[in-house]
Structure 1
Amino acid sequence: MTTILFENDNLSLHSVPLDQSEQVVVTFSPRLGAPRPGPAHPNAGFGQEFFRKSGISVFHVVAKWNHWWQLDEMEEVLQAIRDRRGTRALWTYGASMGGAGALMFADRLDAAGAIAMSPQASVDLSRADFEPRWMADRRRIKTFDDRWLDTGLSTPTWLFYDPTHAEDDQHARMIAATAADIHRVPVLFCSHSSMRMLLECGMLSDTIRSVLAGKFDRDAFLRSVRSHRSASSVALTGAARILSSRGSHQRAAALSGKSVALLEAQWHAGQKLDVATATLTLHIHTANLVRARKVEEAAALLAKLRDTPLVAGDFSQQLLQLALLSNNSVELIRLIEQRLTTGNIAGLSFEILMSAINGNRLPPDQILKFHMRNGAKILAADTTGRYAQAIAAKNLDVATTAPQPDAASQAYRIEGDALLTKDNVAFLVGGNHSVLQYVTGKLAPTPTSLATFAGNLAERASIAHGQGIPYLHVIFPDKQSVMTEAFPIRPVHRLGDAYLAPLDAELRPYVLYPADRLRDEQRPPFLPLDTHMTDHGSLAVLRMMLSATGIEADESLTRVERRIVKPRRWPGDLGVKFTPRLFQDGVVLDPDWPVTAFRSPGGFNDGLVDILISPEAAHDRIVLLFGDSFFRMMLQHLSMVFTRVICLRTRFLHPEMVTLIRPDVIYTGNAERYLSNVAADSEAQAFALYPHLRAATDLAMPPEFLAAWRAVTAPRSVYSQRFLHRYTLPRPA
């Protein structure tokens, strides 16, 4: 019989005592998909039925929202358990958020052992700056108290997790660093679902019983996992995700297809499916089919998701992707019109419609009928003008609102690659990236380029977080994406928006596209005759970068802002394109802190190296940048934040340089116009080969640069320590 010992709006404590039990287990509930307000259900305890059948007394700590146990009343709950536990050996147990609770309170309950499935050491960004998940939860938590990480964990701990899952592996490392007696048990390919995978393998109950009985055999467990994981949809999906991140899309689609087949077999057998697991599996399989271009399989999955879905849920975006891939124009139009009945289409739905029209996936007669039924509503809502352009390009003799230059801003001239407004503000409109064609919507990024960007991002995040390194990609907006009102041609299409719209939600936290936020800056973010930002604009972006990666340096950034005072007059990279040359006046950063800079020789872009050493920076850490001139414009800003700043001019992330330099933070970035066609990181040559591949004749490096380059690429060497001691001024006492 269940007795509720404690309950408020945050959590409840349930007791299920069994007289013959020689042990007592305290369980902590996992993270909730949605809050559960109101009175607690007596059977809401985590693992309640399992422990009843096993004859084990149990206390269940049940959360009503995702507070991660950061509550003042936790001591009252723990005391209620202490008062009733008796002399029996006590264990703590939980998964994910529940696993965090099992570890957090094990010592305070004088536990004999703790079992944690895919737990977190902390969700406090000041401790776990690598953790992008659960941001909404963090905003509700007022303060974090994770002192157990500092005092150490003395309770013997069994930790089950997937070491190939970047964030979970980093949490495991943090836990292992504070635990005196820890048994780390890998559950490969489970991603963040170790408990679900063991359940699917038929191993969960026996595993928990063997740990509690002191009979757990790690080697036998691993053998059993290997022999049973082919029967786990979680394992198959996890393996598929790894393959996809490595570019093996065909194999990934095959594995995720097997995972779906397992779920279908269970469904047909009348078994109840876990909604979250099934939904994630179907989402991932859809993405894999799209990446692998599996047309026939896409058509089959489309029919199943539409007619007989395995679980209830919103699969509208997956259905749209599958309809586009399988060239099912009738279904595509039906789905678009279905979404229009509940509101305007936006995001991925709109992008798919544009791909279908511009990519000739819809016959002209279908486009005409669709436009006659829905065109007015879409035109009224589409502020970008892209739909109007797409319809106008089909020559259907129907009314559109095709983009025209803003009548109030027609006074401009174009010389070569540059446009100059009547207010003497210049914009880049030509060059190798066909800027004006993309800005006006006459060109759009290909699906391949969009997928490549997402693939690069996923792989980069995996590389960084696999080593516990915070990571962020920055899309530096083109000037017209921020100064839209000053640009005389309407509407303005932004490549950054096109790439963000189809991006998976799990990848969004790894991208910063600050176009809208820069509009709100008090100081002008862009120079009038340059494609680059002002030093105040670079500072604003740097603040956003640091915030996104959990790095605090407010005092240093204030010092940077106070030093943007040096007057300068120069033409800028756009001013030189006009005849006669045009000049701009501005203020630039004039550092008053000691910083030593080294730059590689050569007049080329790719392969250029900048190294800055700055002893008074806020953080004695290494930041590694892979990007273009926008990063180079903020190097001095960064030198007030990091003692070692290393910038590599390249469009790719080069893993070999991460291995050599061993950075503490990684940023990749590109100017927005470079998104016109994204190349896969797998196409990158070794970074050191850039000058050789360009047939450079003078490859000799100045001794000063060579010394710095040698030091930062072997940071653990004796030479590096001596070099840094020589160039780094002592910190103030």
Structure 2
Amino acid sequence: MQLENNPHLTIKNNVITFGDALFLQQKDRAQHQFQLLLGEVALKPKMVDTFQRNMAHNISIAEREGFDYKHIVFPCKPIVFREKFQSIGVELNPIFSDQHHHPQVLYPTNILPEDYFLEDSHLKASGTLKIIGQVLEEFGYPKLPKPLYGYHDVAGDLRKMLGGDCLEKKQYLKSLDGLPQNRVQHFSTASGLEGNTGHLYFFFNPYALYNVRLVLFGDSFFQRRFDIFKRVFSEVVYFRNPYILDDVVKVLEPDIVLTGNAERYLWHVPDCDNAKPWFMNYISNRYDSKKIPESDIKALTALFSGKSSREYRNMFGKKLTDLPRDIEKLSMLSENDIKTNADISFIKGMADYYEKEHPGVAYYLMSLVKGLDSYKSVG
């Protein structure tokens, strides 16, 4: 059955309304989402070849530089609601195909309708957490702690396209159980660059679950979920780019790199062999460095100076520690485990966090570092 003739659907302003859920249509425009899902148009073989070539490009860099790597194809919302569409006679098939399969590509199949916002085309925090948890387990990390969610009222991108001002409760990750909240520093070039092409974001959180530097290359499915990444990883660097930038990862020395794209973007895959140099974003009339706060410039300068540079070590390196984050393991620490100023700073921060809910743990942690500040060296 055609979408336009289906009595259960309303189509307006390129948005399909089905019950209380909204979906991006894109008929004869952009990525042709529903036309692809319905089989009315097909992916060009060239785009599949480009996807595979980009993967080969990314994997070769990961192997050379020695970081963990995975590419995520985020399933489009209509596919997650596939059974709901079947119930009204609309058969949808994924855009992602056998030709896109690769050991380093994840197309998650455990995403449920409740993991998507009703009036937005993006995943809730719960959906992204499922994906990140799966990726980390494949890399050998333990299961993520229990998520603690917060909610705020925001108009979804699809609701905005309909011209409405209704607000939907948007779920975000407030924290992971046992980890401090609101201790994240945020730096960006966004204020000095028009549009979103070329944007760079850097999040620093020494109290995150893992003392790991994560570098992200991708679209809004990453960008909308910074609330998750900055709680899990101590350093998160994001580039709005579809594939790995070779020179960037050489400088940044990441532990993990993730690339990703929304499923509908398989319609047109940018070719890594035809890439415009990244720095060109910053020598165009779209860029005004005077709009970027001095604190952001200083932080990004330290970041790109390298992990061993004095600038980076003074600004960030002294705050990073490999001590455990969960309360049980923290309670088992001894003075012998404390080796650097970063360890001391971290324990003080965790003691401050636990002071109200677990005063006994807080007192124990502070007793460990009492008097140590004067002789511990930075490791």
Q: TM-score range by the shorter chain?
A: 0.7 to 0.9
Partner AA of 2:289 in structure 1: L
How many angstroms apart in 1 are the aligned matches of 2:317 and 2:51?
40
Equivalence map 1:114-263=2 (5 Å):
none
1:104-124 deviation line (CA, Å, top 9, x unaligned):
xxxxxxxxxxxxxxxxxxxxx
Q: Corresponding residue for 2:312?
A: 720
Deviations 1:590-641 (A, max 9, x none): 2343211112223422211111111112322211100011112222212232
Q: Which of 72, 76, 83 pairs up with 1:478? A: 76
* Alignment-derived partner of residue 103 in structure 2: 509
1:451 maps onto 2:49 in alignment: yes
Structure-1 residue corresponding to 2:20:
424
Who is 2:159 aligned against? 575
Q: Establish whether residue 680 from structure 1 lines up as the match of residue 271 from structure 2.
A: yes
Task: Tell me, yes or no, if structure 1 residue 434 matches structure 2 residue 32.
Answer: yes
Q: Is contact 1:405–1:489 with CA below 8 Å preserved after alignment?
A: no
Cα deviation, residue 583, structure 1: 2.6
Query: Is contact 1:473–1:669 with CA below 8 Å preserved after alignment?
Result: yes
CA RMSD of aligned residues (A): 2.3
Would the alpha carbon gap of residues 440 and 692 (structure 1) be closer, same or farther in structure 2, given more than 3 Å must change?
Answer: farther
Letter in 1 for 2:314: R
Change (3 A) 1:551 1:623: farther
Report how far residue 576 of structure 1 moved: 0.7
Amino acid paired to 2:173: L
Whole-angstrom distance in 2 between the partners of 1:404 and 1:578 = 21
Paired letter, 1:720: Y
Q: Distance in 1 between matches of 2:164 and 2:10?
A: 14
Given that 2:186 and 2:203 are in contact with CA atoms closer than 8 Å, whether structure 1 keeps it comes out as yes
Q: Deviations over 1:152-178 (max 9, x none)?
A: xxxxxxxxxxxxxxxxxxxxxxxxxxx
Q: 3-state SS of the aligned residue for 2:110?
A: helix
Q: Which amino acid aligns with 2:168?
A: Q
Q: Does 1:707 align with 2:322?
A: no
Q: Deviations over 1:467-523 (max 9, x none)?
A: 2111100001110111113346722132112xxx125xxx72100011x2213xxx8
Counterpart-to-counterpart distance in 1, 2:99 and 2:223: 29
For the 8 Å contact 2:194–2:286, the answer to whether it is kept is: no
Q: Closer, same or farther in 2 for the Cα pair 1:442/1:433, shift >3 Å?
A: same
The one-letter amino acid of 2:185's match is T
1:731 deviates by 1.8
Partners in 2 of 1:709 and 1:543 — Cα distance? Answer: 28
- Give the match's secondary structure for 2:164: coil
SS in 2 for 1:690: helix
Do the aligned residues in 1 keep the contact of 2:74 with 2:260 (CA within 8 Å)?
yes
Contact 1:611-1:644 within 8 A present in 2 as well: yes
Deviations 1:670-719 (A, max 9, x none): 111111011211111222222435x3152333212112211221222110
**Structure 2: which amino acid aligns with 1:478?**
C
Structure 2 vs 1, CA of residues 420 and 621 (structure 1 numbering), >3 Å: closer, same or farther?
same
Change (3 A) 1:489 1:635: farther
Q: Equivalent residue of 1:518, what SS?
A: coil
Tell me, which stretches of 5 or more residues in structure 1 are unaligned? 1-402
Instruction: State the alpha-carbon separation in 1 of the partners of residues 155 and 89 from structure 2.
Output: 24
Aligned runs of 1:393-412 on 2, under 5 Å?
404-405=2-3, 410-412=7-9
Question: Which residue in the other structure is 2:137 paired with?
Answer: 547
In structure 2, relative to structure 1, the CA distance for the partners of 1:452 and 1:570 (3 Å cut) is same
User: Counterpart in 2 of 1:30?
Assistant: none
**Letter of the 2:288 counterpart:** D
Which residues of structure 2 form unaligned runs of 5+? 321-341, 348-364, 366-379
Residue number in structure 1 paired with 2:236: 645
2:58–2:243 CA contact under 8 A, matched in 1: no
Deviation at 1:577, TM superposition (A): 1.3
Contact 1:452 1:680 in 2 (8 A): yes
SS in 2 for 1:475: strand
**2:313 aligned counterpart, secondary structure:** helix
**Structure number with larger C-alpha Rg:** 1
1:596 partnered with 2:210: no
Structure 1 letter corresponding to 2:67: I
Deviations 1:365-397 (A, max 9, x none): xxxxxxxxxxxxxxxxxxxxxxxxxxxxxxxxx
Preserved contact between residue 73 and residue 260 of structure 2 (Cα < 8 Å): yes
Give CA-to-partner distance per residue, 1:201-230, whole Å, 9 cap, x none: xxxxxxxxxxxxxxxxxxxxxxxxxxxxxx
The within-5 A match list for 1:64-83 is none
| Aligned equivalents of 1:502, 1:535: Cα separation in 2 | 29
Query: Secondary structure at the residue paired with 1:517?
Result: coil
The question of whether the paired residues in 1 share the 8 Å contact of 2:211 and 2:233 is answered with yes
Paired with 2:273 and 2:318, the residues of 1 have a C-alpha distance of 38
Per-residue deviation, residues 231-267 of structure 1 (Å, max 9, x unmatched): xxxxxxxxxxxxxxxxxxxxxxxxxxxxxxxxxxxxx
The C-alpha deviation readout for 1:555-578, integer Å capped at 9, x for no partner, is: xx324x1x21x2322211111111
Q: Aligned to 2:115, what secondary structure does the other structure show? A: coil
Measured against aligned partners, the alpha-carbon deviations of 1:78-101 in whole angstroms (never above 9, x if no partner) come to xxxxxxxxxxxxxxxxxxxxxxxx
Percent of aligned pairs with the same amino acid? 24
**Is the CA contact (8 Å cut-off) linking 1:571 and 1:582 kept in structure 2?**
yes
State the distance in 2 between where 1:538 and 1:457 align.
Answer: 22
The structure 2 residue matched to 1:490, chosen from 90, 106, 112, is 90
The one-letter amino acid of 1:542's match is I
Q: Is the Cα contact below 8 Å between 1:657 and 1:687 reproduced in 2?
A: no
Runs of 4+ aligned structure 1 residues displaced above 4 Å come to 403-407, 725-729
Rounded to whole Å, the distance in 1 between the matches of 2:33 and 2:53 is 24
- The answer (yes or no) to whether the contact 1:406–1:490 under 8 Å persists in 2 is no
Shift of 1:457: 0.4
Partners of 1:713 and 1:697 in 2: how far apart? Answer: 19
CA shift for structure 1 position 553: 4.3
Deviations 1:51-84 (A, max 9, x none): xxxxxxxxxxxxxxxxxxxxxxxxxxxxxxxxxx
| 1:731 alignment counterpart | 346
Which secondary structure does the structure 1 equivalent of 2:316 belong to?
Answer: helix
Q: Which residue of 1 aligns with 2:145?
A: 558
Give the letter aligned to residue 538 of structure 1: T
Query: Which secondary structure does the structure 2 equivalent of 1:625 belong to?
Result: strand
Per the alignment, residue 382 of structure 1 pairs with none
Q: Distance in 2 between matches of 1:489 and 1:531?
A: 22
Aligned pair count? Answer: 312
Residues 691, 567 of structure 1: CA spacing in aligned structure 2 closer, same or farther, 3 A cutoff?
same
Match for residue 231 of structure 1? none
SS in 2 for 1:590: strand
**Are 2:220 and 1:629 aligned?**
yes
